[in-house]
Amino acid sequence: MEAVETKYEVVIGLEVHAQMKTKTKIFCGSTTEFGQEHNSQVCPVCLGYPGVLPVLNKEVVRMAVLTGLALNCEIAEYSKFDRKQYFYPDLPKNYQISQYDMPICKDGWLQIGEKKIRINRIHMEEDAGKLIHAGAAGLAGSSYSLVDYNRTGIPLMEIVSEPDISSAEEARAYMEALREIVRYLGVCDGNLEEGSLRCDANISIRPVGQKEYGTRAEVKNMNSFKALQHAIEYEINRQVDIIEAGGKVIQETRLWNDEKGITSSMRSKEEAHDYRYFPEPDLVPMKVDKEWVEQIKQTMPELPVAKRNRYITELGLSEYDAGVLVDSIEMAIFFDEVVTSGSNAKAASNWLMGDITAYLKENKVKLTDTNLTAKNFMEMLDLIAKGAISKNIAKTILVQLIEKGGTAQDIVKEQGLSMISDDSTIRDIVVKVVADNPKEVEKFKAGKKQVLGFFVGQVMKETKGRAKPDVVNKMLVEELNK
Ligand code: ADP
Ligand code: MG
């Protein structure tokens, strides 16, 4: 019998919702700030009071256009909003203003490895409120639910891929790339755990060689990349088992349960006509003129893939180092600033990847929340390059720059950390160290050359690391051979 894994082809399309980082909501002036007291960031418009009128936030359109350009989409000159009707306690208006047949962006793609994953559309819509299922047992067993309307009306972008993804790993890679892009564009903070970036995965399988797609299930509720990958793997196996047993996959929405590691049926799939879409009568159709799109294009930052390539090919960083730096926007911005002012890229990257990252991890702070600036960091690198301070001394200076700021030069002066430039001072210490350790001198003379390391260590201890290693070495060899 043919192996099950090679018998079926996996077909996946992702619908990604990204909360946009605007200051105010999509159709009113209520703030979008996260973590505020429940139901405090609301107004008659986002609460859906009768008679109120939505006013489109221009920043939402700008962000959608910028994202569309980054994802190689066509930007629609004419676009409109539509009403999607449904009843649910988190939706006070009983309809969501969304875009149906004329989305702002169409027909783009995102490169994942060798493959272009096509993007069908990006549309703008408003988020619903958040239901909090109270009581001990969570959703199934809770005795009552609470609703927080602070999220109602937060702008969303829905980015819909074509069913071009063919494995769980590829879906994850696509999602990771998308997250990186929206973060670099500054349009979404990309936090899966907090739900500012959410993903519904449409999954189907078909026998290899079959043209028509199989019936899909839509899986929701994955709050991490790991969950996304696991949920898809689980769902593929579930569908293979059904078909192998002679059954049929039914089209439905399924919920991923991260604790149990399974998906379970939530509701049968709704169709577009169930929502009774019609053009939103309270908003005029939208015209986005080409000039504005051109202006937005001019503000496009360097995207992660291009940045990573530049770090590797132009700055000579390893693939790994380039990847780590680009993964953290703060690091990459900081690094770019240091490098464009002429500092050595390799050295800067080593410090960032090494001591700086270690400090940030240990103290659980973000680079941008410390007192380290590109300027004072560069000065420190210069002092090392000139030989004015040793790398070891620099490590202690770095901690002070991070914690208190100031300049490396001042710290060196105040604390007497500069290298001993006077050779006779070093010579005196070398002579003393040799005289104090007759046994080790014996060993050296007997041919055990490794003890040189011991002597170097002693001199460094005496000078608190302020002696130049090459000078110390040379003098030690001279004195030991006397
Ligand atoms: P709906 O709006 O009903 O969810 P769409 O046609 O807009 O349906 O598709 C939603 C997503 O499902 C898209 O990402 C699309 O690529 C994907 N998709 C459509 N058909 C299939 C299929 N047979 N298998 C896997 N994914 C699919
Ligand atoms: Mg859908």
Nearest atom in ligand 1 to the alpha carbon of residue 269 is 3
Residues 283 and 311 in one domain: no
pLDDT digits (tens, 9 = 90+) for 180-196: 999 999 999 999 998 99
Out of 220-224, 349-353, 388-392, 462-466, which region has the weakest mean confidence (pLDDT)? Answer: 462-466
Query: Residue 22: is its pLDDT beyond 70?
Result: yes
Of 378, 392, 377, 383, residue with least CA distance to 467: 392
Whose atoms come closest to the Cα of 271: which ligand? Answer: 1
Nearest ligand, CA of residue 120? 1
The CA R_g of the chain, rounded to the nearest whole Å, is 30
* Cα–Cα nearest to 94, from 83, 78, 82: 83
| Ligand 1 atom having least distance to the Cα of 213 | 23
Closest ligand 1 atom, residue 163 Cα: 16
Note whether 79 and 155 are same-domain residues: yes
Task: Answer whether residue 203 is part of any domain.
Answer: yes
Quick one: pLDDT at residue 1? 45
Instruction: Count CA atoms closer than 13 A to 478's CA, side-chain side.
Output: 11
Atom nearest to 164 CA in ligand 1: 16
Q: Kindly state whether residues 143 and 193 are assigned to the same domain.
A: yes
Asked if residue 468 and residue 383 are part of one domain, the reply reads: no
- Mutate which of 15, 218, 250 for ligand 1 pocket (most atoms within 8 A of beta carbon): 15
Q: What is the mean pLDDT of residues 288-302?
A: 96
15 CA distance to ligand 2 middle (Å)? 7
Q: How far apart are CA 398 and CA 354, in angstroms?
A: 12
Question: Which pLDDT score, from 0 to 100, does residue 137 have?
Answer: 58
Average pLDDT over residues 353-360: 94
d(CA 168, CA 235): 10
Percent of all residues in the chain with a pLDDT value above 70, rounded to a whole number: 98
Which whole number is the average pLDDT over 114-124?
97
Give the ligand at the shortest distance from the Cα of 269.
1
Domain shared by 68 and 108, yes or no: yes
Domain assignment of residue 297, yes or no: no
Question: Whose C-alpha lies nearest to ligand 1, atom 2?
Answer: 272
- How much of the chain, in percent, has pLDDT values that exceed 90? 70
Q: What is the pLDDT of residue 344?
A: 85
* Closest approach atom of ligand 1 to CA 162: 16
Cα 200 to averaged position of ligand 2 atoms, centre (Å): 8
148-152, 193-197, 201-205: least confidently modelled range: 193-197
Q: Which of 291, 318, 339 is the last residue of a domain?
A: 291
Residue nearest to atom 5 of ligand 1 (CA): 160
Specify the residue with its C-alpha closest to ligand 1, atom 22: 216
Model pLDDT, residue 6: 84
Of the pLDDT bands very low, low, confident and very high (cuts 50, 70, 90), residue 136 is low
Q: Are residues 328 and 240 in the same domain?
A: no
The residue out of 415, 436, 455 marking a domain boundary is 415
Last residue of a domain, one of 381, 415, 449: 415
Q: Choose among 189, 253, 252, 191: nearest CA to 223.
A: 191
Average pLDDT, the chain: 92
Residue 138 has pLDDT above 60, yes or no: no
C-alpha–C-alpha distance, residues 249 and 238, integer Å: 9
Q: Give the distance (Å) from ligand 2 centre to CA of residue 397.
A: 54
The 10s digit of each residue's pLDDT in 63-103 is 999 999 999 999 999 999 999 999 999 999 999 999 999 99
* Confidence check: pLDDT of 115 > 60: yes
Query: Per the structure block, which two tokens stand in for 307?
Result: 């940045």
| Residue 45 confidence class, pLDDT cut points 50, 70, 90 | very high
- The pLDDT, as a whole number, for residue 470 is 82
Same domain, 89 and 60: yes
Going by pLDDT thresholds of 50, 70 and 90, the confidence category of residue 2 is: low
pLDDT at 271: 74
- Nearest ligand by distance to the CA of 16: 1
- Do 272 and 331 fall into the same domain? no
Q: Which atom of ligand 1 is nearest to the CA of 202?
A: 26
User: In this structure, is residue 411 part of a structural domain?
Assistant: yes
Instruction: Report the alpha-carbon distance of residue 149 to residue 443 in Å, rounded.
Output: 79
Domain count, the chain: 3
- Strands 78-79 and 197-207 turn out to be unpaired
CATH number of the structural domain spanning residue 431:
1.10.10.410
Pair (357, 443) in one structural domain: no
Q: What is the pLDDT of residue 390?
A: 84
Q: Which residue has the tokens 């909003």?
A: 81
Q: How far apart are CA 213 and CA 9, in angstroms?
A: 10
Which listed ligand is nearest to 171 at the C-alpha?
1
Q: How confident is the model at residue 139 (pLDDT cuts 50, 70, 90)?
A: low
Q: List residues near ligand 1 (CB under 6 A).
A: 11-15, 160-163, 202-204, 213-214, 216
Pocket test for ligand 1, best of 164, 202, 220, 269 (most atoms within 8 A of CB): 202
Model confidence over 103-113: pLDDT tens digits? 999 999 999 98
The pLDDT, as a whole number, for residue 56 is: 97
- Is residue 404 pLDDT above 60, yes or no? yes
Same domain, residue pair 466 and 325: no
Gap from CA of 218 to ligand 1 centroid (Å) = 8
Measured from the CA of 14, which atom of ligand 1 is nearest? 14
Q: Note whether residue 373 is domain-resident.
A: yes
Whether 314 and 382 map to the same domain: the answer is: yes
Dihedral, CA atoms, 144, 148, 149, 152, nearest 10 degrees? Answer: -100
Q: Are 149 and 129 in contact (CB under 8 A)?
A: yes
Mean pLDDT of the 280-295 span: 96
Classify strands 8-19 and 155-161 as parallel, antiparallel or unpaired. antiparallel
User: By residue range, what is the domain housing residue 259?
Assistant: 2-291
Q: Are residues 107 and 219 in the same domain?
A: yes
| Distance from Cα 68 to the centre of ligand 1, integer Å | 19
Q: Is residue 296 one of the residues assigned to a domain?
A: no
